[in-house]
Amino acid sequence: MNDYGDVVVCAPVTVPYVRRSDKGAAWWLGSALRRLLEASGLAKRQVDGLCLSSFTLAPDGPAPFVQYVGLSPRFLEFLPTGGACGIMALRRAARAVQCGDADVVACIAGDTNGAESFHDLVAQFSSFSRDCVWPYGAGGPNESFALLTEHAMRRTGATRADFGKLCVAQRQWAQRNPLALLRGELTLETYLAARPIAVPLHLLDCVMPCAGADGYLVMRRVHAEVLGLRYVRILATIERHNAFPDDPIQWRGGWAMDADALWQRASIGPDEIDLVETYDDYPVISMLQFEDLGFCAKDAGADFIRRNEFGPGGNFPHNTGGGQLSCGQAGAAGGFLGLVEAVRQLTGAAEGRGVDGARHALIGGFGMINYDRGICTAAAVLAA
Amino acid sequence: MKAHAAEGRLALQRCTACGNIQYPPRELCGVCLADTLEWRVTDDEPGEVLASTVLHHSHEPAFNGKLPIHVGLIRLDAGPTAIGFLTEACSAGTRVRVTAKLDYRGRAVLSAALAISKEVS
Ligand SMILES: [Zn+2]
């Protein structure tokens, strides 16, 4: 049973991101749930499934949260897998609905960002990272991604200007997205002049932590039609954790293990994709997704960036809401951002930035930079 | 590992069941899952730098006076990869020798220095 039958995704919502918040994660997640109810017209008791993702909900977890917001679901998943959680939630919710374990699954992710919460999160991210990365200058994820970026630049010949091209294009999309936190004009010159953070990474390569939440609903098509909701279909999905553990440095992600299966199940190829939403906490990871998901050959990522145009009106619409690099990274919601944007695009809800005639979208997920590499990868192909 | 680092020695875990040498340390073997691990202690370990970075920003005030800090990912000849401090001249492909010591907070930390200076002397 590889196909998802008549299961659909609808009601993309965002609780607008802010740089800092004194609200708790439960406020952000509960507010996303409220927006899902408002967008769908459903009553709370009709939501009988929940997929939840958050880093800052502690000491609460999924069970305290359902009591907090007064839900009584018969299907409950907690997915603390960062950048892969949006697609992982989609996969689990879709199977639950398809197999009858739930009728309506609310998928929500969100985090707060208080004065100390980002520091506390990265300092204690995992045992390996705490003991074997943090003592080396406490650079956090910037430090790990700097090592991966430096290696990828030598492998592909990518330059800072290549990564800057992606960042500038995303900012052009963000200027059309009122939900993006960073909407000021960005030129390649400004990008290149940014101060160094962890060479080769400079300030505008590094995602900005913020607070926020995103969500969507999964249900049967007939149910969405009764509710009058526009929806998208799920053509195929993949997920993989700790792929290629023997690679001494991460030069490919788990997508490379599963991309063939993804396209085979989707019955379309990369050429038929109208928009791509990569996971982009750092631009090097977008380049890895272009390579590993089959948009270009391995090691050809830099050439691919030079040969294509990624902004509004370009031939390869990419991160069409601005991506995390312009929207901000609201913790676990970063794993939902691309999926929610793709659903908006495919349902005609991406006001002011719609990709004309968009039928198919590819979404990538990349989560949990642990010690020397990102552990979780995922991808989905959605159809209008 | 800390006790050895306090004496300036580098300790890696070795699984007595399958021979796997691992880092970071764990309570069982990451390959065969046996918990029969012993410490393989050396003065230093040879390796090669796979990637490097120069930190200009730290999340800990204690490091702010020491910036910029050179850090690399090092493949040890013994098998595992390790993140460590680099002497300034180390970049990808450089052969290094990795040593351990305790840092200002009593944590075991690794440093890599050019292998050549030691091999020549
Ligand atoms: Zn073993």
Chain B within 8 Å of A146 (Cβ-Cβ)? yes
For residue A82, the one-letter residue type is: G
Chain B CB contacts of A128 under 8 Å are: 24
ipTM of the complex: 0.94
Cβ-defined contact of A138 to B54 (cutoff 8 Å): no
For residue A1, name the pLDDT band (cuts at 50, 70, 90): low
Say yes or no: A150 and A221 in one domain.
no
Q: Which residue of A has its CA nearest to B53?
A: A199
Q: Are residues A41 and A188 in the same domain?
A: no
User: Is A15 in CB contact (< 8 Å) with chain B?
Assistant: no
Assess whether A161 and A243 both reside in one domain: yes
Of A135, A146, A201, the CB nearest to B103: A135
Helix and strand numbers (H, E) in chain B are 3, 8
Are B51 and B33 contacting, i.e. CB atoms less than 8 angstroms apart?
A: no
Instruction: For residue A286, give the nearest of A321, A315, A326, A323 by alpha carbon.
Output: A323
Q: Is residue A158 domain-shared with residue A268, that is, in the same domain? A: yes
**B83: chain A residues, CB-CB within 8 Å:** 132-133, 136, 147, 371-372
Q: What is the pLDDT of residues A268-295, one digit of tens each?
A: 999 999 999 999 999 999 999 999 999 9
Residue B79 Cα to ligand 1 midpoint, Å, equals: 13
Predicted confidence band at A116 (pLDDT cuts at 50, 70, 90)? confident
pLDDT average, residue stretch B36-41: 96
Judge whether residue B120 has pLDDT over 70. no
State which residue of chain A sits closest to B82, comparing Cα positions: A132
- The more confidently predicted of residues B88 and A98 is A98
- Residues in chain B, total: 121
Contact flag A147-B72 (C-beta cutoff 8 Å) = yes
Res A137 pLDDT > 90: yes
**What's the total number of domains in chain A?**
2
Give the angle A83-A326-A357 at the CA atoms, nearest 5°: 85
* Domains of chain B, CATH where assigned: 2-114 (2.40.50)
- Helix, strand or coil, per DSSP, at residue A160: helix
Q: Considering chain B, what is the average pLDDT of its residues?
A: 93
Position A132 in a domain? no
* CATH code for the domain of A329: 3.40.47.10
pLDDT tens, position by position, A306-355: 999 999 999 999 999 999 999 999 999 999 999 999 999 999 999 999 99
DSSP A335: H
Residue A87: strand, helix, or coil:
helix
A196 touches chain B (CB under 8 A): yes
Same domain for A247 and A162 = yes
- By three-state DSSP, how is residue A370 classified? strand
B47 CB within 8 Å of a chain A CB: no
Between β-strands A196-199 and A201-202, what pairing exists: parallel, antiparallel or unpaired? antiparallel
Nearest to B58 among A139, A195, A371 (CB): A139
pLDDT above 90 for A76 = yes
B interface test, pick of A120, A124, A126, A136 with most B CB neighbours within 10 Å: A136
pLDDT value of residue A94: 98
Domain-embedded: residue A35:
yes
Quick one: pLDDT band at residue A120, thresholds 50, 70, 90?
confident
- Pairing label, strands B45-55, B21-22: unpaired
Give the C-alpha separation, B78 to B39, whole Å.
13
Does residue A353 belong to any structural domain of this protein?
yes
Ligand 1 centroid, distance to B21 Cα (angstroms): 8
Residues A179, A224 within the same domain: no
Q: How far apart are CA B34 and CA B21, in angstroms?
A: 13
Tokens of A72: 């009584």
For an interface test with A, the pick among B22, B27, B57, B74 (most A C-beta atoms closer than 10 Å) comes out as: B57
Asked, for residue A126, whether it belongs to a domain, the answer is no
Percent of chain A with pLDDT strictly greater than 90: 96
- Cα dihedral A47, A53, A59, A62, rounded to 10, equals 30
- Who among A123, A249, A371 is closest to B51 (CB)? A249
Distance B35 CA to ligand 1 centre (A): 8
Question: Is residue A124 assigned to a domain?
Answer: no
Q: What is the rounded distance in angstroms from the CA atom of residue A10 to the CA atom of residue A7?
A: 10
b/e A365-383 (16+ beta carbons within 10 angstroms → b):
bbbbbbbbbbbbbbbbbbb
Pick the closest to residue A316 from A262, A283, A358, A258 (CA basis): A358
Closest listed residue to residue A102, CA positions, set A46, A38, A54: A46
* Judgement on whether residues A363 and A256 belong to the same structural domain of the protein: yes
**pLDDT confidence tier of residue B2, bands split at 50, 70 and 90:** confident
Residue A17 CB neighbours (<10 A): 24
> Exposed, middle or buried: residue B27 (CB in 10 Å: 0-12, 13-18, 19+)?
exposed
Instruction: Give the mean pLDDT of chain A.
Output: 97
Q: Does B101 touch chain A (CB under 8 A)?
A: no
Would an 8 Å CB–CB cutoff place A234 in contact with chain B?
no
CB B29 within 8 A of CB A104: no
A145 and A275 co-located in one domain: yes
Q: What is the DSSP letter of A270?
A: G
Residue B118: pLDDT over 70: no
- Residue A106 domain flag: yes
Asked whether residue A169 falls in the same domain as residue A227, the answer is: no
Contact by Cβ (8 Å): A217, A10: yes
pLDDT tops 80 at residue A241: yes
Tell me, yes or no, whether A127 lies in a domain: no
- Answer yes or no: do A176 and A271 share one domain: yes
Candidate from A133-142, A224-233, A304-313 with smallest mean pLDDT: A133-142
Global pTM? 0.96
- pLDDT band for A215, please (50, 70, 90 cuts): very high
Question: Domain range for residue A226?
Answer: 7-117+211-231
**Of the candidates A183, A198, A231, which is a domain's last residue?**
A231
B78 CA distance to ligand 1 middle (Å): 15
Question: Is B75 part of the contact surface with chain A (CB cutoff 8 Å)?
Answer: yes
Distant-in-sequence, close-in-space partners of A195: CB < 8 Å, separation ≥ 6: A202, A203, B56
Tell me, yes or no, if B14 comes closer than 8 A to chain A by beta carbon. no
The token duo for A26 is 């439960």
Chain center to CA of A318? 13
Tell me, yes or no, whether A370 and A342 share the same domain. Answer: yes
| Same domain (yes/no): A25, A69 | yes
- Residue B121 scores a pLDDT above 50: no
Q: CB of B17 within 8 Å of any CB in chain A? A: no
Q: What's the distance, CA A263 to chain centroid?
A: 20
Distance B37 CA to ligand 1 centre (A): 8
Q: Is residue A133 part of a domain?
A: no
